[in-house]
Structure 1
Amino acid sequence: MIKVSDITKVYQMGAVQVHALRGVSLQIKKGEFVAIMGSSGSGKSTLMHILGLLDVPDSGHYQINGQEVQGLSEDARAGLRAREIGFIFQQFNLLARISAHDNVALPLIYGNAPGDKTPDQLLERVGLGDRKSHAPNELSGGQQQRVAIARALVNGPPVIMADEPTGNLDSESAADILQVLQELHRSGLTVIMVTHDPEVAAAAERIITMKDGQVLSDTKGAGGTAESRSGNVESRRDGSSSLRRKPFREFAALLAQASRSLSANKVRTALSMLGVLIGVAAVISVMALGAGAKVAVEAQISAMGANLLVVQPPRPKSRGVSLGAGIVSRLSASDAGVIQDSIEGVQYACGSVNGNVQVTFDGNNCSTEARGVELAYETIHSMTPQAGRFFSEEECSSRARVAVIGTTVYEALFDGQDPVGQTIRINRNTFEVVGLLPDKGSSASEDENDQVLIPLSTAMHRVFGEDYVREIEIQVESADYIDSVETAVVALMNERHRVTDPENNGYETRNMAELQSTMAATSNTLSMLLTGVGGISLLVGGIGIMNIMLVSVTERTREIGIRKAIGARRNDILMQFLVEAVAVSLCGGALGIALGGGFCLGMRQFAGWAVAVQPITLVVALTFSVFIGVVFGLWPARQASLLQPIEALRYE
């Protein structure tokens, strides 16, 4: 079953070369119980490690079941080790954070074809059926070694290798373990045991004695002959084709192991999550506040009217007397009608005046803005009253004292009463309330509901004593007409009011689309800046994860060696540590989303800020947190996967 020819192994210890094996050759047949013994430094453990594919010789040949081992990749050796060999170590090498049952089941993650006994059945076989849920620190030394034996058998390997299996046990426990090994031998398994104790070696049917890296003798032991075996075990050299690996089972096992590992170091895990948590929360909050600000800006611009131009009187830019005759040009109430009738592309035009007023009703009063407008104002600004009506054309021409009030004014004056038909006083003038405006929302700088609308003629002659309008609002049919209408309106007003120096004293317009674009660009720039701050937080969190994972690799070097000894490939170790890193960042990201969402809700509830948490923001933040875990967890995971099995097992 096993054949080695002239294998050598030399260790470089500083400037000194230590020849651990010097041309060892031997054969072990299927079903033999072989004890390899010798004093410390004889090379017996090195030979065991090479036979168990945990180490490779410097020269020579090694065949197991006719397959040449020399030249195989590390992953190929791991696959062969998982199928052909079960290990029993002197130090037991059980994982401390999992139960006896989970320790026994561990090789099933990495093996292609499990044996015919379940972990529970194997624990029953070694007399620990009632202790399967206990952790290793809750078991005696003998019981831990029995768990190690069950683990070695779970994949049904034809070869069991035991490295000083009784070295850390009392005499009674040692006798029990030897009995178990003899039972395994009688069932047909090939058992190779390393020991320095002649009494233990006597339990084998063949004793190979080593000294100074060479085979000193090869004799029969007192443990019986091959003919005493009653069973037969066939090698599963091609086991990889009998049962394929199960990715879902492996991934589920990786998740369970990651959960156990992270929960075992709760404080460290929480600290490594903290950076990602803060970064994701910052990104969520910033993007939500930025999106909310953008929505608020769009709402304000929309409240002003779609495709809206605002014409204002000239503001003289030259010193001294302007406009030829020294007459200051204004906007008249008739200009709006002329603009609407004479310029192509104009849908509506509406003049307006405004000013602060005191409004009273039945002992209640408030300070608000009164705005004198024309009928088109209702359409331009989507101001159709939610109760009552807008004033009529006849009321506009007759300077009627009628008013349509905003919801803020209504709440301040009417205490829930129906305002329609009630009489209010605006700066000592009585007005009849004919309608209640729709709720247009508010921002930190302006409340669109805190106003009273009255007919333009009434405002000019009865309230403010104005002869001219402050501005004219123009709604253009479509955005395609805005530039041409803007040019035509300025030219018309300059001509109509005889402006002689239009470059310095011409009429001005404000384009709401440009204002909206400017405000949105400013909001986007601010959002990008703050998102960058959140990204830096995520970067810092990722570096924290990398540091923690590097520490974890160092602390768990022996665990990595154990996993590789029972068949774990490089990718298995890589994925295990990568899953842990991603789990940390994913949990941190999820908590960051919760924290960021809670912060946004708090700012909206208590500070009145506009926030808009968009689903794409959550997806991006969570995806980026996973990306952070993968990127910063990859290098530590790779470092873990590159560890050689024997070096990892010898750690500490």
Structure 2
Amino acid sequence: MLGLLRQNFSIAQQSIKGQLLRTILTVVIIAIGITALVGILSAVNALSSTLNNGFSGIGTNTFYVQRYAMSFQSRGGGKRNMVNPIINYRQVKEFEEQYKTPLTQVGVSFQATSQAEIKTEDRKTKPNVIVAGVNEHYAENAGIKLSQGRMFSSLDISNNSKVCLIGSDMEEELFQGFNPIGKTLSIRGNKFNVIGILEEKGSTFGNSVDLRVLIPMDAARGIYTRANINYDLSVKVFDKNFMDSSKDEAVILMRNIRGLSPVEEDNFGIVQSDQLMSSVNEISGALNIAAILISLITIFGSSIALMNIMLVSVTERTREIGVRKALGAKRSTISWQFFIETFLISQYGSIVGILLGMLIGYGVSAGFEIPFEIPWTAIIAATIVSIVIAFASGVIPAVKAAKLDPIEALRYE
């Protein structure tokens, strides 16, 4: 049995070499579809995994009051979207002071710069450090944790203390492995004592969130005085049963602070953290469906191309089939010979497509500087697709070859 199977494989390989150009074209057709399937799935999985990991620390009990909602559509037959005014310092302070909903806490932050040069006595960073001004609740609301030290206290913020929290990359770049707690660093000539080191987060779309410094909000406002700074508000609700009522109260308060009349629409957005994850998952699902549709089209097109090649092969090798049958070859032997040939061609296309698809996924991961994982799900899906192609296109030629009459086949010219 094994000897016969080995012989069929050998004959199939010889036949593939004999019609090399047609085989290459068919392999390319199969590979294009498999490449799209594996490339899209691996890239989408890498992106969604990174985004979900970024949102997972926040939890589902936090919502944000921000300048825009997640999505906003033009209304009234093609009118342009309204440009919402920024959320300024006065508004966030009023919100922070007046939002008294039980079992909640308000976080406030703004990005002062993303191009800061941070110095110590003997070292300095490149001008690519993020400096953010925050209040005492920002870190907890954002799911930020410490690896060493302590968080800001309410006294640090109210007294405008010159203290800071630094990202894990800052520890290595400025202090070279030495414990930075209690050390001093300089931001635009202002001295800050390091009280805590943030847990490592990694890069997201090429931006390292570990290369950052958090300082009290009013201290950041004193150092960075540019106009039209937009602030971000976050509200953590400690009891999820009060999430809806807490959001409603935030909307009412923010409308009052913004001076909106009852007939005016909101000129700000309320976004819950699980909505962000849900949107990411929806986009990922849509792209996965697109990859599946591409694979279905691939199955159809590749099956037709491969079936045509195999039917032509049966016709060209009619005399050979007659000789083999005259020498005692069974129908099953003949059909297996052609089916194995079909299977090999489809697997060649699958291997090429998987390799190219993984290169695309790796390229996307490298471009966005996110971790690349071997897309096992996509590889398994591609293998299944190639097997389906082999079955769909190999059965009819195999059956046709097996049913040939040996006498008529020997007469074939």
RMSD: 3.6
Question: Are residues 1:484 and 2:245 paired?
Answer: yes
2:115 is the counterpart of 1:354: no
Q: Secondary structure at the match of 1:634?
A: helix
Q: Work out the CA distance in 2 between the residues paired with 1:296 and 1:580.
A: 42
Instruction: Answer yes or no: is 1:308 the counterpart of 2:62.
Output: yes
SS of the equivalent of 1:342 reads: coil
Hey, what does 1:590 align to over in structure 2? 351
Partner residue in 2 for 1:651: 412
1:422 and 2:183 aligned: yes
Q: Which has the higher contact order (CA 8 A, sep 6+)?
A: 2
Aligned partner of 1:391 in structure 2 is 152
- Consecutive unaligned residues in structure 2, runs of 5 or more: 70-87
Distance 1:621 1:465 in 2: 53
Cα pair 2:91 2:257 within 8 Å, conserved: no
The SS at the match of 1:453 is strand
Q: Aligned ranges for residues 110-121 of structure 1 at < 5 Å? A: none
Distance 1:609 1:635, change over 3 A: farther
**Cα distance between partner residues in 1 of 2:409 and 2:233:** 82
- Residue 51 of structure 2 is aligned to residue 297 of structure 1: yes
In structure 2, distance between residues paired with 1:506 and 1:548? 63
The structure having more radius of gyration, on CA atoms, is: 1
1:412 and 1:532, CA in 2 relative to 1: closer, same or farther beyond 3 A?
A: farther
SS in 1 for 2:214: strand
Determine whether 1:560 maps to 2:321: yes
**Structure 2 counterpart of 1:335:** 95
Classify 1:314/1:520 alpha carbon distance in 2 versus 1 (closer, same or farther; 3 Å): closer
Moved more, 554-563 or 251-260: 251-260
Structure 1 partner of 2:8? 257
Change beyond 3 A, Cα 1:314–1:592 = closer
The residue identity in structure 2 corresponding to 1:331 is: Q
- Once residues 466 and 452 of structure 1 are traced to their aligned partners in structure 2, the CA distance between those partners, rounded to angstroms, is 21
SS in 1 for 2:144: coil
Q: Contact (CA 8 Å) 1:293, 1:610: kept in 2 or not?
A: no
- Check whether the contact 2:206–2:369 (CA below 8 A) recurs between aligned residues: no
- CA, structure 1 residues 559+254, in 2 after alignment: closer, same or farther (shift >3 Å)? farther
Cα drift, residue 407 of structure 1 = 3.4
In the alignment, does 2:28 pair up with 1:280? Answer: no
Q: CA deviation at 1:619?
A: 1.5
Give the share of equivalent positions with the same residue, in percent: 28
| d(CA) in 2 for partners of 1:392, 1:299 | 27
Residues 243-286 of structure 1, C-alpha deviations (whole Å, 9 max, x = no match): xxxxxx3x772354133321454335555433323332331111
Once the two structures are superposed, residues 454-500 of structure 1 have per-residue CA deviations (whole angstroms, 9 ceiling, x without a partner) of 12343345655999982320123476654433212212444577654
Tell whether the 8 Å contact from 1:289 to 1:610 is kept in structure 2 after alignment: no
Name the amino acid aligned to 1:364: K
CA distance in 2, matches of 1:499, 1:264: 78
CA distance in 1 between partners of 2:374 and 2:243 (Å): 33
In structure 1, distance between residues paired with 2:263 and 2:176: 52
Q: Which structure 2 residues correspond to residues 523-538 of structure 1 after superposition, within 5 A?
A: 523-530=284-291, 532-533=293-294, 535-537=296-298
Structure 2 vs 1, CA of residues 599 and 500 (structure 1 numbering), >3 Å: closer, same or farther?
closer
Q: Does residue 1:378 correspond to 2:139, yes or no?
A: yes
Q: Distance in 2 between matches of 1:604 and 1:499?
A: 44
Q: How does 1:571-586 map to 2 (within 5 A)?
A: 571-586=332-347
Distance, in Å, in 2 between the alignment partners of 1:587 and 1:313 is 53
Of stretches 441-450 and 278-287 in structure 1, the one that deviates more from structure 2 is: 441-450
| Cα 1:557/1:638, change in 2 over 3 Å | same
- Residues 364-415 of structure 1, C-alpha deviations (whole Å, 9 max, x = no match): 2424332222333232223222233323333223211111122344455445
Q: Secondary structure at the match of 1:300?
A: helix
Question: Partner of 1:638 in structure 2?
Answer: 399
Deviations 1:147-189 (A, max 9, x none): xxxxxxxxxxxxxxxxxxxxxxxxxxxxxxxxxxxxxxxxxxx
**1:602/1:252 CA distance change after superposition, 3 Å:** farther
For residues 601-643 of structure 1, the C-alpha deviation after alignment (integer angstroms, 9 at most, x for no partner) is 4553576355444433222110110100111122222221221
- Once the 2 structures are TM-superposed, how far is the Cα of residue 349 of structure 1 from its aligned partner? 2.4
Partners of 1:499 and 1:263 lie apart in 2 by 79
Contact 1:287 1:531 in 2 (8 A): no
Question: Is residue 287–residue 613 contact of structure 1 (8 Å, CA) maintained in 2?
Answer: no
* SS of match in other structure, 2:204: coil
TM-score, structure 2 normalization: 0.79
User: Which whole-Å CA distance do the structure 2 matches of 1:425 and 1:382 have between them?
Assistant: 27
1:557 to 1:479, Cα distance in 2 relative to 1, 3 A? farther
**Structure 1 segment 76-475 matched on structure 2, within 5 A:** 249=1, 253-254=4-5, 256-263=7-14, 265-266=16-17, 267=20, 269-302=23-56, 305-312=59-66, 330-333=90-93, 335-336=95-96, 339=99, 341-343=100-102, 346-356=103-113, 358-361=116-119, 362-365=122-125, 366-410=127-171, 412-444=173-205, 446-460=207-221, 464=225, 470-475=231-236
**Number of aligned positions between the proteins:** 388
1:548 is matched with 309
Structure 1 range deviating more: 429-438 or 301-310: 301-310
CA contact (8 A) 1:332 1:469 kept: no
Q: Take 2:263 and 2:272, find their aligned partners in 1: how far apart are those partners?
A: 19
- The alpha-carbon distance between structure 1 residues 645 and 254, as it changes in their structure 2 partners (threshold 3 A), is same
Secondary structure at 2:27's aligned position in 1?
Answer: helix
Tell me, yes or no, if the aligned pair for 1:285 and 1:597 is still in contact at 8 Å. yes
Stretches of structure 1 lacking an aligned partner (at least 5 in a row): 1-248, 316-327
SS of match in other structure, 1:274: helix
Question: Normalising to structure 1: TM-score of the pair?
Answer: 0.52
SS in 2 for 1:258: helix
Q: For 1:516, which of 267, 277, 290 is the aligned residue?
A: 277
Matched, 1:623 2:377: no
* Gap change, CA 1:263 and 1:483, over 3 Å in 2: farther
Whichever residue aligns with residue 333 of structure 1, its letter is K
Residue of structure 2 in register with 1:106 after alignment: none
Q: Is the 8 A contact 1:570 1:642 kept in 2?
A: yes
- Counterpart Cα distance in 2 of 1:637 and 1:478: 66
Structure 1 letter corresponding to 2:124? N
SS class of match (2:106):
strand
CA contact (8 A) 2:206 2:370 kept: no
Secondary structure of the corresponding residue to residue 387 of structure 1: strand
CA positional deviation for 1:545: 2.1
1:566 CA displacement: 4.4
C-alpha distance 484-580 of structure 1, shift in aligned 2 (>3 A): farther
